[in-house]
Amino acid sequence: MSDTANQQDLSDEDLAAAWGAETDAADGLPVQAERVLNQAEIDSLLGFDDGPAGGEHRSGMQRIISSGLVSYERLPMLEIVFDRLVRIMSTSLRNFTSDNVEVGIDNIISLRFGDYLNSIPLPAMLAVFKAEEWDNYGLMVVDSAMIYSIVDVLLGGRRGTAAMRIEGRPYTTIERTLVERLIMVVLQDLSVGFDPLCPVTFRFERLEVNPRFATISRLSNAAILARMRVDMEDRGGRLELLLPYATLEPVRELLLQQFMGEKFGRDSIWETHLAEELWNTEIDLEVVLDEQTMKLSEMIALKPGSQIVLSGGVGSTVQLRCGTTPLFEGRVGRRKNRVAVRIERELPRPAPSDR
């Protein structure tokens, strides 16, 4: 009797399992064992892979995440500065490494400073530099591949061989010194890149390997990031330049230009024409012999033939005005049967607040 009951229980469990599987299949759910996603699949799902970061081919999840971000204003002249930097760096790095170097820019994006710190691929070297004239800071990140490539090239590594990478160890003093020399070259080129727009000096401050020690701005502040790739035949790596919007604030008006030398709200041709026409403008000068304060009743009592005694005597000074603006001071006289005024001195212009 007990064996029969056990068989009945087993058959009921089998039926329940089969029924659950059929229900999942009917609902369109895949019937398979649970699988844990690896990090690469999670990054691909969230859109944090190394694909285009300029908004192209983003997954739906990435679009949802990015929808809450603040849209930052575009700075056209900054793109031109970075293009100029790439051309200058191609020449200076060839002289620096005595090798064939090609520098290209991947993209220029706007993001929050905290988001960038969390996305820096480690190990890497983070160079903090200061813009002297703007009194603020920027960040340059040299990735691991670029570090080992520049060390290999500067220490005489043979061409056609990939740079040796030894991960999981701190960078040596020699490696840090060689990377600092590279950073000096790039910062000098960045200053030259800004020269047509405004003179600025970028001074190297310190080199860090921990992103927490390279915090130069609030994590929620906006920043602009330029990703550059450096190819040296079979070697190379990436350089990333990050400039907070607060750093660029002193030259924001210049960076908003559509082309070099653009004048906001101004037209040089119209200004020249206006200046030429002003020289030919006729104005009326009034000679003020005297000013008196009178009661309204006295003004009403004035009739033809009434006399007003002036306080100024013979040879006293008078003012020449244009409207309500005093321009000159002089003396009244006569020249060829005409009343004339000889200008003796120019009166100071009143301040705008005094008018």
- Domains in the chain and their CATH numbers? 76-255 (3.40.1550.10), 282-301+315-354 (2.30.330.10)
Taking residues 241-268, what's their average pLDDT?
76
Place of tokens 């002036």: 310
Q: Could you give the count of Cα atoms lying within 13 Å of 208 in the half-sphere of its Cβ?
A: 16
Instruction: Examine the pLDDT at 343 and tell me if it is beyond 50.
Output: yes
Q: Quick check: 8 pLDDT over 60?
A: no
* CA 283 remoteness from chain centre: 47
How much is the pLDDT for 250? 87
pLDDT in the model for residue 68: 46
- pTM: predicted TM-score of the whole model, two decimal places: 0.55
pLDDT digits (tens, 9 = 90+) for 156-172: 776 656 555 656 678 88
Q: Give the pLDDT confidence of 234-252 residue by residue, as tens digits.
A: 788 889 999 998 888 888 8
How far is the CA of 350 from the CAs of 4, 19, 93, 318, in angstroms? 115, 96, 58, 18
- Which tokens go with 285? 């000068």
pLDDT at 6: 47
Structure confidence by residue, pLDDT tens digits, 26-66? 444 454 556 777 766 776 666 555 544 444 555 666 666 55
Asked whether 206 and 165 are in contact (CB, 8 A), the reply is no
